[in-house]
Amino acid sequence: MRDWLTQHPVVRNLIGSVVGGLLLFASFPPRPLWFLAPFGVALIVAVLRTGSSLRGGFGYGFVAGAGFFVPLLPWIGVYVGPLPWLALAAACSVFFGAFGAIARAVAILPWAPLWIAMAWSLCEWGRSSFPFGGFPWGRLAFGQADGLLLPIASVGGAPLLSFAVALCGVGIAYLVEGALRGERRALLGPGVAVALGPLVAAALWPTLSTMADGDRHITVAAVQGSVPRLGLDFNEQRAAVLNNHVRRTLQLADDVKAGRVPKPDVVIWPENASDIDPLRDATADRAITDASEKIKAPILVGAVLSNDDDTTTNSVIVWNGADGPGDRHDKRIVQPFGEYLPYRSFFRLFSSYADRAGYFVPGHGDGTVHAAGVTIGVATCYEVAFDRALKDSVRNGAQLLTVPTNNATFGDTEMTYQQLAMSRVRAVEHGRAVVVAATSGVSAIIGPDGAVVDESELFVPDVLVAQVPLLSSTTLATRLGPIPEVLLGLGALAALGVALLRRRNNDLLGTPSGEELDGSGERELEDLGDHPDV
């Protein structure tokens, strides 16, 4: 078998690409295998090091992306079939393909591991931005909530954390290659690339805020009322969903009165807790008011509000007992193909579910609401995946963060754990406690160091009550904002420009353009993209 693979390098590399992608997938929650991510990157880079064709690099990168995204995103198609799931996986894999091409281009430069890791950052930025606002799901950083490199998020946010993982992985690939070739002098640079991230992270661990820190502490409650049934039509029983959250809040009030739990200063309901517009429906208004009065605290109510033009907003309203609605956060980053459908007339040709997409419009607030004298940053569900959402909240004074979410439309899948990991990374990134309130789970209380203090089970009504710190200091990541990602992207583009110019000059002069040699000293001619059968 080994001899056969040696004689068929394209097949060998395709297998290596798929396995590399699968290692990345295995590093993501709910599996505690975060340490596999650098090895997944290393295997992908090792495949890319077998040739110099940019077309081949794109092909191998795309295959690696499919190996990662196809098993990562099946929750997309739980209730709508495999087409949207596979289409999204393919679209995301294109950016892995771009990484493969860029990585091969810049591999001819000195300090190649650095430029290749920057190329990873550039392609993650591209996927997080385009098209339709991007899809950041699956960034390397979001698989590292339990990882040793997590503190790096406090310096440069999710982009720098992803870069650190990628740099470690690229360094591993170059270390192994140098060791196999017996090139001891070539091991120093890759060795530094592997060790740099863990050393920086180790130095940063003691600087992270914890639940014991803070200007003062308040008691919060996250209510998980659960839903009557899962699926796209769960909200047909909108009254039942609202009643579930009212009922759990009233039970909490009874527990407080009996002294079983401390009285919360703020109660947080999840996204879609009231899909009946409480600003227009008197029954919903009375139910929420009664719950707030009984618990004697403001409730952050996740609600769908109807606009006069037949559009809707996905909102979080601060409900202050008999005083009614106060501050409001309208979700600013709405989900394409779910909350709204771009090019609806075109996409309805491919799926009967197209017309079930909503007509939500984005809000324009500053990402904060005020309740019980506290400034609370809000990122509703999908928003937590985007760097700018909670960065804006903290810059606008948020002392505490919350992520109200509704995962009932994705069934019993890994999606909720993947999203919970994002909240944990955001906690470290901004040095804030995070309260995750989910309709059907998993709800959680997260410390500013990313540790999960308490969490609920899936599909079980529950209330989490905890004391959380209010912090006003800001991390370097919050202050820098997008600057680290911009610098990494510019570095990759500059390296790519130099590399393409060098390749062009080499072609004009008729000199080799940096093709890598395989273990026998012969150039791999059957590179993907150059192979006559591809």
Radius of gyration of the chain from Cα atoms?
25
Residue 34 corresponds to which amino acid? W
- Of 335, 333, 272, nearest to 305 by C-alpha is 272
Task: Write out the two tokens for 422.
Answer: 């994002």
Task: Write out the two tokens for 35.
Answer: 């340490």
Write the Ramachandran bin of 242: left for phi over 0, alpha for psi from -120 to 50, otherwise beta: alpha
List CB contacts of 126: < 8 A, sequence separation 6 or more. 95, 98, 134
- Of 50, 41, 48, nearest to 23 by C-alpha is 41
Cβ-contact 435, 447 below 8 angstroms: no
Gap between the Cα atoms of 178 and 184, Å rounded: 7
List CB contacts of 205: < 8 A, sequence separation 6 or more. 151
- Give 386's Cβ-side CA count (13 Å radius): 23
Gap between the Cα atoms of 29 and 91, Å rounded: 22
Catalytic positions, please?
271, 331, 381
Compute CA distances 194 → 31, 184, 198, 244, 481, whole Å. Answer: 23, 16, 8, 50, 26
Cβ-contact 58, 97 below 8 angstroms: yes
- Specify which residues 314 forms β-bridges with: 304
Cβ-contact 205, 151 below 8 angstroms: yes
Task: Write out the two tokens for 128.
Answer: 């997080």
Is the bond leading into 442 cis (omega within 30 degrees of zero)?
yes
